[in-house]
Amino acid sequence: MNNITCKYGGTSVADAACLRRVQAIIDDDPNRRFIVVSAPGKRTPEDRKVTDLLYAWHGLTQQGLDAAEPRAIIAERFEELATDLGVPFNVYAELEEIAQTGADHPEPDFMASRGEHLMARLVAALLNATYVEPADCIRFDDEGVLDEATYELLAERLGSDGRFVIPGFYGAMDDGSIKTFSRGGSDVTGAVVARASGSSLYENWTDVSGFLMADPRIVDNPKPIREITYTELRELSYMGAQVLHDEAIFPVRAEGIPIHIRNTNSPGDPGTHILADRTPDQAVCGIAGRRGFTMVTIEKALMNKERGFGRKILSVIEELGVSFEHMPTGIDTISLIIKDEELGKHSAAVRKNIERRCDPDSIIVSRDLAIIATVGQGMSGHVGLAAELFNALAGADVNIRVIDQGSSENNIIIGVNSDDLERAVCAIYDALVDFK
């Protein structure tokens, strides 16, 4: 059986018209048997996401304040959906129960998960499908990490015939308490369901026709990406290309299940296929960048001869609970590139502890760094590509503060001043978009 898992994001279930399109897509192929849904998203740029309203409701309740406003907006949205779709659904009774249970939970997870919970119940009624409760079959361990037992539990639950609707975004801890993934986590649920159900394809339906080679807010009309590997996508999404939650790749990658990103509003568009492997027809598949990095450079004469120097530096940041993104090295220098949000309040302690433990000649902390990743499986062994990239940056008058290239040759990472981010991305895109 070529079963398909379909995940519909918030904008795909935002109103009744969207849900009719979802229904038509599902009815079009009987293999679309496992349906994962988000909570209703924004209908217009000014609109509020139901999940945001639920977090607001929880926050107000915890402070002993009146949460009538977010609650009323949520009630209105589900009431409108149910009426327009002609599905019987007593949203007021549901919200009363949620209010009572939610009040006992200091953590927001229970409340935050209710958007998906209600949406999935409504969609199950609409499609005449079986509702699956994630609290019974998606498990987190004590650290809040997905428990492998989930796959067996879910496989058993999804083992019979017919169509199933599963709320995205949450599961439960061993004690039964609700736990959510991080924001946007319905993508992860979709991937987990695809793997547990043995689906041959994970369709991720959203409001764009797949990935673009660069951020359209930076590059004018960037080319779409038709095919990309899990590894390439991982590099790009971690660096800021957003469409899919960056943890959604792992469950399907383990089984080689392809992901197809598709547009609910334009189902005929080709979208983007995410695969284990591909034959690239051009060198670069995407360019992504983000601000918000700091580089800590530690210098010491004859560092290369001192055994254990790198270990000492890394143990300092490990003990402070700080992780790093890149570690470019020179003969007498080691730099750590760290996300600002990760370094946070630890900046002074990192410096002090490295000084104390490693006795360096100097430590330089450089802020306002933006990192840009140029990614492509076809880049490997390509003579002249790096020259083209660096020439383009010189031509755009961009100063490169750091360069890092993994030995896989699938990416070139550069660090530039934050102010140069847009200029640098445009220059690289123009130079390499059609580089064969």
Cβ proximity to ligand ASP: between 11 and 150 the closer is: 11
Based on the shown chain and the rule CB under 6 A, indicate whether residue 78 belongs to the binding site for ligand ASP.
no
Listed in sequence order, the residues at least 6 apart from 175 whose beta carbon sits closer than 8 Å to its beta carbon are none
Q: Which is nearer to ligand ASP, 111 or 350 (CB)?
A: 111
The C-alpha atoms of residue 26 and residue 9 are separated, in whole angstroms, by 14
49 lies in the site for ligand ASP, by CB under 6 A = yes
DSSP string, 192-242: HHHHHTT-SEEEEEESSSS-BSS-TTTSSSPPBPSEEEHHHHHHHHHTT--
Looking at 20-28, 181-189, 254-262, 300-308, which segment touches ligand ASP (CB under 6 A)? Answer: 181-189
End-to-end CA distance of the chain: 39
* Residue 293 β-bridge partners: 339, 369
Question: By C-beta, is 171 or 360 nearer to ligand ASP?
Answer: 171
DSSP bridge partners of 374: 287, 412
Strands 4-8 and 201-206: parallel
Range 213-232, binding ligand ASP (CB under 6 A): none
| Alpha carbon distance 10, 49 (integer Å) | 8
| Sign (positive or negative) of CA dihedral 77, 83, 88, 90 | positive
Which residue, 190 or 222, is less far from ligand ASP as judged by CB? 190
Nearer to ligand ASP, 40 or 271 (CB): 40
Q: Does 123 bind ligand ASP (CB under 6 A)?
A: no
Residues 366 and 286 sit within 8 Å (Cβ to Cβ): no
CB of 38 to ligand ASP, least distance (A): 3
Choice from 4, 18, 22, 39 touching ligand ASP (CB under 6 A)? 39
Residue window 303-322: x/- pattern of binding to ligand ASP, with contact defined by CB under 6 A: --------------------
Q: In this chain, which of 185, 222, 286, 360 binds ligand ASP, going by CB under 6 A? A: 185
Residue nearer to ligand ASP on the CB measure, 186 or 353: 186
Q: Which residues contact 261 (CB under 8 A, 6 or more apart)?
A: 204, 206, 208, 209, 210, 211, 243, 244, 271, 272, 274
Rule CB under 6 A: say whether 40 interacts with ligand ASP: no
Site membership for ligand ASP, residue 115 (CB under 6 A): yes
Site for ligand ASP contains 134 (CB under 6 A): no
Asked if 168 interacts with ligand ASP (CB under 6 A), we say yes
Number of residues that make up the chain:
436
Nearer to ligand ASP, 20 or 183 (CB): 183
Shortest distance in whole angstroms from residue 109 CB to ligand ASP:
11
> Would you say 286 and 241 are in contact if contact means Cβ atoms under 8 Å apart?
yes
Question: Which of residues 4, 5, 6, 10 is near ligand ASP by CB under 6 A?
Answer: 10
Q: Which stretch binds ligand ASP (CB under 6 A): 70-78, 180-188, 225-233, 374-382?
A: 180-188
Q: Which of 20, 183, 311, 352 binds ligand ASP (CB under 6 A)?
A: 183
293 binds ligand ASP (CB under 6 A): no
* Nearest CB to ligand ASP, comparing residues 183 and 352: 183
Gap between the Cα atoms of 36 and 180, Å rounded: 15
Kindly tell me which of 187 and 420 has the beta carbon lying closer to ligand ASP: 187
The answer to whether 178 contacts ligand ASP (rule: CB under 6 A) is: no
Confirm if 376 and 282 have CB atoms less than 8 A apart: yes
Q: Cα–Cα distances in Å, from 329 out to 142, 298, 326? A: 37, 10, 10
What is the 8-class DSSP label of residue 160? Answer: S
Q: What residue ranges bind ligand ASP (CB under 6 A)?
A: 10, 38-39, 49, 51, 115, 168-169, 183-187
